[in-house]
Structure 1
Amino acid sequence: MTDGKIADVKATGGDDKTAPKLELKTPFGVAAYASTVLKKGSGTPTDDKSIAVVKYTLVNGTDGKVIDETYSAKETGFDVGDATLISGLRKALTGVTKGSRVVAALPPAEAFGDQGNAQIGVKGTDTVVFLFDVVNVATKLPEAEGTAVTPTAKNLPEVTFESGKQASFTMPKADPPKDLVIQPLIKGKGAKVEQGDTAVVTYTGALWRNGQIFDSSFKQGPTASFSFPVGAGRVVAGWDKGIEGQTVGSRLLLIVPPKDGYGDKGQGEIKGTDTMVFVVDILAKY
């Protein structure tokens, strides 16, 4: 069924802890993307340089079942400029303002495609309905910016960085440090990242022993970023320790020994004896 009208979708109730209830006649489907603003906010509209911080509920239009919601949890930040984001979500999140409530209907072509998403119970013919409240809008820097810092410590890796591409490293001919090293390369002038904040970063990670890059946010594209809650243990301890207290706009060189990384067991190609080296740009926080 693809003759649904977005004007017929209603939202009732809901608060900071409880998701609004979406009222729609099932099965609901649309042939093309459609959205409407239920409540208009204020401020600067989001664009591809924005992080839209929202609370949302996602509903399967075919049966009306809730797929996911974040009103009962922490709000979610979406990088509006991330080309890997589902196209319908990017459309819905572009041009909105803080305080707005928006509902959007995403046909398969703007959501999960003909293959659907079996993990969340969405078939290739299902329209998904996305209702969200914009809690905040943060600006994402394209890359680190601020004051260059000249490292004073010896035997640090040399980092070569080109805009929009993963960094490369020249490792010193020396044993790696036994303790975590947090070396700013650029000191940003933005807000300080505190425990409990969500940091938005780009990064490249390599192994001290051979300089081989094992991971990079740039593998997802030149504008892709990675977000994580600082101090929540969702990343290796070296990241939580290294990024807390830094400022938005900073570029950090983090040298992470096993005890602050993956420990004696390692992970994948990273051995239990490997020291990891990261360059991290802090682009935003919320």
Structure 2
Amino acid sequence: MTRTAPPSSSAALRRGRPGRWVALVSVPLVALVLSGCTAGPDEPAPTASTASGDCQAPNSGALSDGVDVTGDVGSKPQVAFDSPLEVTSTQRTTLVEGDGEVAEQGSVANVRIAVYDAATGAEVTSAGFDDGQQPTQLTVSTDYYVPGIVDAIACVASGSRTVTIASAADMTTATATEQDAAPTPVVIVADVVSIVPTKATGEAQPPTDGFPTVELADDGQPTVTIPAGTDPPSDLRIEVLKKGDGAAVPDPANVTVQYQGVNWTTGEVFDQSWGKGTPTPFSTDQVVPGFAKAMIGQTVGSQVVVIIPPSEGYGEAGQPSAGIGGTDTLVFVIDILAVA
């Protein structure tokens, strides 16, 4: 799955694969189905779900109404339809109407999803339905996913199950080339489980001596103050400012977070997810070691502060593109919002 990272994310956290989002690397989702960066701000995707303002989604039609889906919400669906389906435009039917929070444009939803080839009826892929498997996180935006996937969950209340017939046009990317595999229509069954919060919701914990102070705005955005005239510790240190009651983060895992990075030397923010419209998914094996260690073992809903010495960050080389020198210690405030 390819998704375009925020402009500074590759410099601030990632190692090995800069510019590549890894929210679903542990799930066998084919690139065609969940490929991202489908449209830039000036290239709206061709379906109603990309409209700004009021939430809009595809209408139901004879094709989506005609798909036979059995099984309870949350369990792997049994899906039958007359194939091949001749799909000219995307349709969506709500099979079960939930009453929870709505997956609005730009939000991140916990989703269980199964995808079938509209020509053959064969299952292409699924995520979140296997025993013990957590829902996966999908961002409701065509900046990240092909329009057909977004249409399956956009404007859907948590607790709902939908069936979407996505056209071939809505299963391709705006940047597709002649060398890419030709898109095909698909049938998508999606259960919207819940909406990922935008900030940590855990119980406040007393601050730890020797750590920078953290003040939070109403929306959760932190302001970090480095202790004046104090040298940073030489080892990795972690404090918990909020203790969540969700699942613990295993390793490896894909973790959805809000974060802010501050350079201890300058006291300046060099990277953050705040203000970029949506929380950020990271894989524990695709970020600098200190950031991964701060997430692993923590519980969803927690807010942690980690002090990362160069040996647990970018080493002697630093990260010049982010203004990080080889001797700079980093401070991150991390809100752990979901894990998959």
Deviations 1:30-57 (A, max 9, x none): 3xx42246xx579766623762334455
Letter in 1 for 2:226: M
2-structure distance, mates of 1:256, 1:278: 8
Alignment of 1:1-286 (within 5 A): 7=63, 24=84, 29-30=88-89, 33-36=90-93, 40=95, 47-48=102-103, 51-55=109-113, 57=115, 76-80=136-140, 85=144, 89-93=149-153, 94-95=155-156, 100=161, 102-105=163-166, 115-118=174-177, 121=180, 129=186, 131-134=188-191, 137-154=193-210, 156-164=211-219, 166-172=221-227, 173-221=229-277, 224-229=278-283, 232-267=284-319, 268-269=321-322, 270-286=324-340
CA contact (8 A) 1:103 1:132 kept: yes
Report the AA paired with residue 276 of structure 1: L
5+ residue gaps in structure 2?
1-46, 48-60, 69-75, 128-132
Tell me, in whole angstroms, the C-alpha distance in 2 between the residues paired with 1:56 and 1:167.
Answer: 37
* TM-score normalised according to structure 2 size: 0.59
Letter in 2 for 1:160: E
TM-score, reference length from structure 1? 0.68
Q: What do you get for the CA RMSD once the two structures are aligned?
A: 4.4
What amino acid maps onto 2:214 in structure 1? V
% same residue: 30
Q: CA deviation at 1:141?
A: 2.5
CA distance in 1, matches of 2:82, 2:290: 42
Higher relative contact order (CA 8 A, sep 6+): 2
Q: Distance in 1 between matches of 2:151 and 2:266?
A: 43
Quick check: 2:152–2:162 contact (8 Å CA) kept in 1? no
Letter of the structure 1 residue corresponding to residue 313 of structure 2: G
Shift of 1:160: 2.6
2:252 & 2:303 partners in 1: Cα distance?
A: 20
Q: Which amino acid aligns with 1:161?
A: L
Q: Offset at 1:78?
A: 0.7
**In 2, distance between residues paired with 1:203 and 1:50?**
15
Count of aligned positions: 259
Contact 2:259/2:274 (<8 A) preserved: yes
